[in-house]
Structure 1
Amino acid sequence: MESILVHAQALVYTLLGLMPTAYQRDSLQALLGLFLEAQGHPLPEHSVIKSAAALSRFLNHYDWSTRSVIRSVRQQIVQELLGACHRGRRPWLRVIVDLTTLEKCGKFIGFAHLISVLQGKRGLHLVVLYLVVGEFRVPWGFRVWRGKGTPSAAQLAVRLINTLPKNLMQAYRVIVLADTAFGSVEFLKAMRKRRYPLIVGVRCDRKLSDGRQVCSLVKQGQQVRLEGLSFPVTLGWLYLKRDGKFEKRFVLSTRPLKASTIIWWGRKRWSIEGFFETAKHRFGLHRFGQQTLNGVYRWFVLCLVSFILAHWVYLSTGSSTLPDWGASATLAMKLLLPEIVVCLLLVYLEQTRPLFQSLGLELQLVEVKT
């Protein structure tokens, strides 16, 4: 587990090295420090190290390569995943895709074309690709669904899956897990063409080739043909508790599996929901307030990088309990951004100087020579 901490440190050093100037390196550290406070509101105006204007310019206007940052993060992810794949039977790589909404009010002139309404929610709708291997889980990428008349969520999901490197897909046994929104004929055919087994939710009123609906089935594990599909799928269902009541959810598999296996994999999809909650309410994914598309894009990228760093530091502790994201993020900042921790401490001490003076004490910092 120590190696993953080394990868986290290497990633931070690499990202800082991508910044063209020392001023921008300081801004990047300040922003990562804001995200790693993990209080859910990493807004630039809350920074005590850099001004809100400086951080805004860094996100919206400064010329640094966002693509290089993404490329560096993905290289570290692939390196860590390949290093964890030992000889013997290949482990499962869960490739999970889902759609989440970042609700927004008001006008956003710089990216108004990206704001749309979906299921009564107005905002940015992100299709996210999430990778899970055992306790290791990372967001790989995202695309913005732009509304009707544009590429569908399923089409965007296919594009995201296509970005996964071949050596990674060959090292693992891959299974794709997806929500009902991705149960289109096009998505099913795309996964079958790539030979990836798919477990995906399906609507209860989805029609079969014989005219019946999915909800009319009484036996789990049946192989049926959906309307518009040329190959059979296997259906099962599970019950999820919602508002004190149990809802029946149908799940299909493109591979002939037992109903119990389909249900087991179907439940595994929900791990991405926990990620969405953490990314939003701990790391502030939805709290972007930038007025340019570039600024919003960079906000998403740095937020997800902060999640990855906190998760890797948590894994390095070897803990078997559920992660305390606040504690993990705090530890990540101490281990990976010690300069930010020292700066925050100095600012706090300066703010408390009047208190020391009122008690007849004087605070001095003395250099320790070694």
Structure 2
Amino acid sequence: MEPILVHAQALVYTLLNLMPSAHQKDSLQALLALFLEAQGHPLPQHSPIKSAGALSRFLNHYPWPTRRLIREVRQQLLQQLLRYSGRGRRPWLQLIVDLTTLEKCGKFKQFAPLISVLQGKRGLHLVVLYLVVGQLRVPWGFRVWRGKGSASSAQLAVRLIESVPKVLVQAFRVVVLADTAFGSVLFLKAMRKRRYPVIVGVRCDRKLADGRKVQDLASKGQQVVLEGLSFPVTISWLYLKRDGKLEKRFVLSTRPLKGSTITWWGRRRWSIEGFFKTIKHRFGLHRFGQQTLLGVYRWFVLCLISFILAHWAYLSTGSSHLPDWAEAAAAALQSLFPEVVVCLLLTKLERHRELLRSVGFDLQLVAGKT
């Protein structure tokens, strides 16, 4: 089995070859290097090897094949996911959906219709599909929630789940994990139609068909029928620590499972929350500030690709500890973009040439023999 970094390098070569000019190849590498700094602020003006104007034009105006780039990335992701299928009993593939807000202040004329207020947060709201199997974590796709009067977050989640290739569904046992916002009748019926088991949060005041509420249930693992549904679900609950207090959260399963099993699966959903924190505060997903919708879309895509490359670099270490994303991103940058790293180093040395001279050093670069 080939090391995962070999596949990462092949993916990088493929993406670079999609660029129609050498100038755009350089811009792609410069942007990915910015994201892989993993400091949370990959702004174009911070790039020491490409001007902010050149990177802005690359994102907003230059005609490079964004959709084909996404297809190539997904093809590599598919290969990595299928490596986990193996022989014998099929492993579980977790399809985790959730909504996250990229908060924004000010006016954005070009994409004002996408900016809305949800639960007191103003910004751009993304419904994200996150795949988990074994140690592999894959951000598979996203949709923008456009506010009231548009497709609901549950409808967007259904569309994202439909985008999962059939070969994956056939290779794994699939379970859908979601937050309370996705526990609507529409979502549950759609997943039942596709025969996907669902573990999803449920409001404590959700009504049952017999007039009671979920919070009235006395024991875990009870089968009940929710108002608006024609099939039974099983209810359990778990406790989460919030502000130093334990908060009771209810979870339902569309398949009859023990209460402890439902609780175990219910906790697995929270892995996407860790992803959201990482993709924002390490890779700067929320730092988009482009002039066009295309620029924003490309920003999201390249940010997610950077996370994938860093995740693959972490997997290549074989570590069983939680990843240090700064170290993983640095490893990905050095392994996959060595020329960029050298360029960054030389740029930094050149910027400090006078300082080196002031302490008695004279910098000279000599080409080595190959």
- TM norm structure 2: 0.99
1:2–1:316 Cα contact (<8 Å) kept: no
Aligned partner of 1:129 in structure 2 is 129
Give distance in 2, aligned partners of 1:105 and 1:360: 49
Structure 1 position 358, deviation (Å): 1.8
Residue by residue over 1:75-124, the C-alpha shift from the partner in whole angstroms, topping out at 9 and shown as x without a partner, is 00001111221110000000000000000000111110000000000000
Aligned partner of 2:346 in structure 1 is 346
Aligned partner of 2:174 in structure 1 is 174
Aligned partner of 1:224 in structure 2 is 224
Structure 1 position 3, deviation (Å): 2.3
Give distance in 2, aligned partners of 1:322 and 1:334: 21
Code of the aligned partner of 1:263 = T
User: Structure 1, unaligned stretches of length 5 or more?
Assistant: none
Aligned partner of 1:263 in structure 2 is 263
Give distance in 2, aligned partners of 1:37 and 1:60: 22
Code of the aligned partner of 1:210 = D
2:234–2:255 Cα contact (<8 Å) kept: yes
Code of the aligned partner of 1:91 = P
Give distance in 1, aligned partners of 2:291 and 2:351: 32
Give distance in 1, aligned partners of 2:321 and 2:219: 38
Give distance in 1, aligned partners of 2:53 and 2:174: 45
Aligned partner of 2:331 in structure 1 is 331
Give distance in 1, aligned partners of 2:269 and 2:356: 54
Asked if residue 306 in structure 1 is aligned to residue 306 in structure 2, the reply is yes
Q: Secondary structure at the match of 1:256?
A: coil
Aligned partner of 1:284 in structure 2 is 284
Aligned partner of 1:204 in structure 2 is 204
Aligned partner of 1:250 in structure 2 is 250
Code of the aligned partner of 1:62 = Y
Structure 1 position 360, deviation (Å): 3.5
Q: Secondary structure at the match of 1:201?
A: strand
Give distance in 1, aligned partners of 2:91 and 2:4: 18
Q: Secondary structure at the match of 1:48?
A: coil
2:128–2:141 Cα contact (<8 Å) kept: yes
| Structure 1 residue runs of 4 or more that deviate by more than 2 Å after TM superposition | none
Aligned partner of 1:63 in structure 2 is 63
Give distance in 1, aligned partners of 2:320 and 2:203: 36
Code of the aligned partner of 2:69 = V
Q: Secondary structure at the match of 1:110?
A: coil
Asked if residue 85 in structure 1 is aligned to residue 93 in structure 2, the reply is no
How many residues matched?
370
2:40–2:284 Cα contact (<8 Å) kept: yes
Q: Secondary structure at the match of 2:181?
A: helix
Give distance in 1, aligned partners of 2:353 and 2:21: 33
Code of the aligned partner of 1:366 = V
Code of the aligned partner of 1:145 = W
Q: Secondary structure at the match of 2:238?
A: strand
User: Structure 2, unaligned stretches of length 5 or more?
Assistant: none
Aligned partner of 2:9 in structure 1 is 9
Code of the aligned partner of 2:135 = E
Code of the aligned partner of 2:181 = A
Structure 1 position 66, deviation (Å): 1.0
Q: How does 1:142-153 map to 2 (within 5 A)?
A: 142-153=142-153
Give distance in 2, aligned partners of 1:329 and 1:195: 38
Q: How does 1:353-368 map to 2 (within 5 A)?
A: 353-368=353-368
Code of the aligned partner of 1:19 = M
Q: Secondary structure at the match of 1:350?
A: helix
Aligned partner of 2:23 in structure 1 is 23
Residue by residue over 1:169-219, the C-alpha shift from the partner in whole angstroms, topping out at 9 and shown as x without a partner, is 100000000000000000000000000000000001100011111111111
Q: Secondary structure at the match of 2:287?
A: coil
1:99–1:128 Cα contact (<8 Å) kept: yes
Q: Secondary structure at the match of 1:14?
A: helix
Aligned partner of 1:162 in structure 2 is 162
2:96–2:269 Cα contact (<8 Å) kept: yes
Comparing 26-35 and 60-69, the one that deviates more: 60-69
Structure 1 position 2, deviation (Å): 5.1
Aligned partner of 2:319 in structure 1 is 319
Code of the aligned partner of 2:75 = Q
Structure 1 position 73, deviation (Å): 0.7
Give distance in 2, aligned partners of 1:369 and 1:247: 65
Give distance in 1, aligned partners of 2:354 and 2:219: 74
2:84–2:133 Cα contact (<8 Å) kept: no
Give distance in 1, aligned partners of 2:53 and 2:253: 51
